[in-house]
Amino acid sequence: MEYEKYHKNDIVTVTIEDIGNDGEGIGKVDGYTLFVKDAVIGDTVEVRITKCKKNYGYARMEKVLVPSSFRVEPKCGFHRQCGGCQIQAMRYERQLMFKQDKVRNNLLRIGGFTTEQVDAVMEPIIGMEEPWHYRNKAQYPVGYDKSGKLITGFYAGRTHDIIANTDCALGAPENKDILEAVLAYMRENHVTAYREKEGTGLVRHVLIRTGFQSGEIMVCLVINGKKLPKEERLVERLKGVTAKRCVVSVSVSVNTERTNVIMGKEIRVLWGKDRIQDTLGGITFAISPLSFYQVNPVQTEKLYGLALDYAGLTGKETVWDLYCGIGTISLFMAKKARQVYGVEIIPEAIADAKENARSNGIDNVKFFVGKAEEVLPTFYAAGNVSETLAKKASCECGEDERKKSNGAFSDEQMRHPDVIVVDPPRKGCDEKCMETMLAMHPDRIVYVSCDSATLARDLRVLCGGGYELKKVRAVDQFGGTVHVETVCLLSQLNV
């Protein structure tokens, strides 16, 4: 065979001409394709082949021979080991172009749209003004290095070996001082760190959440036991961390299970508040250690602002927000709509959503617990079909609430809303859900997606069912990584 001339451990020189979906560099030697992690498009690199397949292989970057004009000095010295920021060595503008192209290519290849169609509807990607220190949540494992020294940092890519680093370039700048304070408390008071293999030792993780608007910081230690020794000393240490933003909440979460799940179910506040606050689009959210909350608040505001803009609300509309989480989009929309209905599978998230609606004085939104693909068909059917079907829905709005509402849940507007918004997880929308969405015949569908491949697959279904793709725009929520969010507007075809 022609390509049998390459073997594992061969050293070759390759020029990187393309970028793979996971951010890896792609180049060819003598027509043989190599995937090279950490190589930047335009680089000429010396690589060591790590795996040979018939038509392609994988290689490890050993040396950059000629750096690409898109290559920058990575901000974090650990970025290759960590793997969290796959494309940190790429100039930010080029990262944005890569993300825009990724969405575009998926629309062409998977969505089946033509180049003309895509070019006519696609708006330029919205980037970040400051692509560093944007995350408001971080979870650091605590453990020991090879010499037995107490450390905290991150797991080396695909392993559970901890590499010491208290200064992640994506986290809030205060995290470093907070982590150092936790380590100092542990050393002084002989508090042990968890040893995963043995299941012994006490402190497993440190969770830090920051309200970027409110300036409030929450620190939660996840422990393999009931109690921390000399808790008050930890609190004193953390209160002593002085920065622009301050620690206002210190808690422990008990997790004695031998599991990869980080947080335990039970939270005990040691000092200060049980929740911190933050504001998104003028709406205040209360965040506990266990609540879901978008990790990049600055870009989330832009993302949901765009979804709101695409929804084209005037105050008269009925809106369904499917996969609504803690109701962020629902509450954004409620300010401009007549009535919003949110659906989400996790009961705790719906409890938070209701509380957020209440504390912000928003009363034109109702939330239902259940699968979108079950709740939506039930309500669609409720106007003309049996009670049995309605009962089957795993939504909390059962018989009693339906009666109390004097039929408000089976009204025509609910069955035929003006707008349906979806923000599904990576696997995209369920088929049954899309089938019902099409049957409900809303004027507009706004699709918010964190995976442009499943987005493209679903758009093909929706466009095949009487809708037209009107607008597409990517929003970068995660600088340095290969992830990208996309918002799309679909309108009913008037034929």
Sheet holding 122-126, edge to edge: 122-126, 467-475, 485-492, 444-449, 419-422, 318-322, 339-344, 365-369
Of residues 181, 183, 345, 475, which one binds ligand SAH by CB under 6 A? Answer: 345
Report the nearest approach of ligand SAH to the CB of residue 307 (Å). Answer: 9
Q: Which two tokens stand for residue 451?
A: 């995976």
For ligand SAH, the closer CB: 155 or 292: 292
Report the residue number, 346 or 493, with the smaller CB distance to ligand SAH.
Answer: 346
Q: How far is the CB of 266 from ligand SAH (least distance, A)?
A: 21
The distance of closest approach from Cβ of residue 448 to ligand SAH in the complex, given in angstroms and rounded to an integer, is: 7
Residue 307 as a binder of ligand SAH (CB under 6 A): the answer is: no
Tell me the C-alpha distance between 166 and 141, whole Å: 11
Q: What angle do CA 275, 276, 279 make, to 5 degrees?
A: 130
SS3 at position 297: helix
* Of 76, 429, 450, 488, catalytic: 450
Among 11, 66, 262, 346, binds ligand SAH (CB under 6 A): 346
Give the tokens for residue 474. 């990517």
Out of 191, 372, 395, 446, point to the residue binding ligand SAH (CB under 6 A).
372
Cβ-proximal residues to 304 (8 Å cutoff; 6+ apart), any chain: 280, 281, 328, 329, 332, 448
CA distances from 377 to 263, 393, 440, 491 (A): 34, 9, 9, 21
Judged by beta carbon, residue 371 or residue 402, the one nearer ligand SAH is: 371
Q: Which stretch binds ligand SAH (CB under 6 A): 33-41, 148-156, 220-228, 317-325?
A: 317-325
Q: Is 329 in the site for ligand SAH (CB under 6 A)?
A: yes
Residue from the set 96, 169, 172, 349 that interacts with ligand SAH by CB under 6 A: 349
Please, are residues 28 and 57 in contact by the beta-carbon 8 Å criterion?
no
In the shown chain, the binding pattern of residues 259 to 298 toward ligand SAH, with x for contact by CB under 6 A and - for none, equals: ---------------------------------x-x----
Q: Does the footprint of ligand SAH cover residue 323 (CB under 6 A)?
A: yes
The distance of closest approach from Cβ of residue 325 to ligand SAH in the complex, given in angstroms and rounded to an integer, is 3
User: Is the Cβ of residue 56 or residue 292 nearer to ligand SAH in the bound state?
Assistant: 292
Among 343, 390, 414, 475, binds ligand SAH (CB under 6 A): 343
Point out which residues pair with 140 in neighbouring strands. Answer: 206
Residue given tokens 């290559």 in the structure block: 71
- Total binding residues for ligand SAH by CB under 6 A? 20
The residues pairing with 19 across neighbouring beta strands, listed in sequence order, are 25
Q: Which two tokens stand for residue 196?
A: 């995963």
Using CB under 6 A, which of the segments 95-103, 136-144, 221-229, 341-349 binds ligand SAH?
341-349
CB of 431 to ligand SAH, least distance (A): 11
Q: In terms of CB distance, is 140 or 304 closer to ligand SAH? A: 304
Among 174, 344, 352, 476, binds ligand SAH (CB under 6 A): 344
- 210/356 with CB nearer ligand SAH: 356
Output DSSP code: residue 389: H
| Spatial distance between the Cα atoms of 149 and 169, rounded to a whole number of angstroms | 23
Q: Which neighbouring-strand residues pair with 58? A: 35, 51
Residue closer to ligand SAH by CB (options 49, 438) is 438
Q: Does 347 bind ligand SAH (CB under 6 A)?
A: no
> Which of positions 386-425 make contact with ligand SAH (CB under 6 A)?
423-425
Stretch that binds ligand SAH, among 166-174, 187-195, 231-239, 320-328 (CB under 6 A): 320-328
The answer to whether 76 is a known catalytic residue is no
Closer residue to ligand SAH, CB minimum distance, 57 or 417: 417
- Per-state percent for the chain, helix, strand, coil, to nearest 5: 30, 30, 40
How far is it, in rounded angstroms, from Cα 330 to Cα 321?
6
Residue (133 or 371) nearer to ligand SAH, CB: 371
> What is the smallest separation between the CB atom of 252 and ligand SAH, expressed in angstroms?
26
Q: Which residues of 282-306 are buried (b: 16+ CB within 10 A; e: fewer)?
A: ebebbbbbebebbbbbbbbbbbbbb
Tell me the DSSP string of 263-288.
Answer: S-SEEEEEEE-S-EEEEETTEEEEE-
Q: How is residue 63 written in tokens?
A: 């040396």
* Shortest spacing between CB 141 and ligand SAH, in angstroms: 24
- Determine the Cα angle at 280 with ends 276 and 282, to 5°: 105
Binding segment for ligand SAH among 51-59, 178-186, 220-228, 319-327 (CB under 6 A)? 319-327
| E strands present in 386-454 | 419-422, 444-449
Interface ranges with ligand SAH (CB under 6 A): 292, 294, 323-326, 328-329, 343-346, 349, 371-373, 423-425, 430
List the catalytic residues. 450
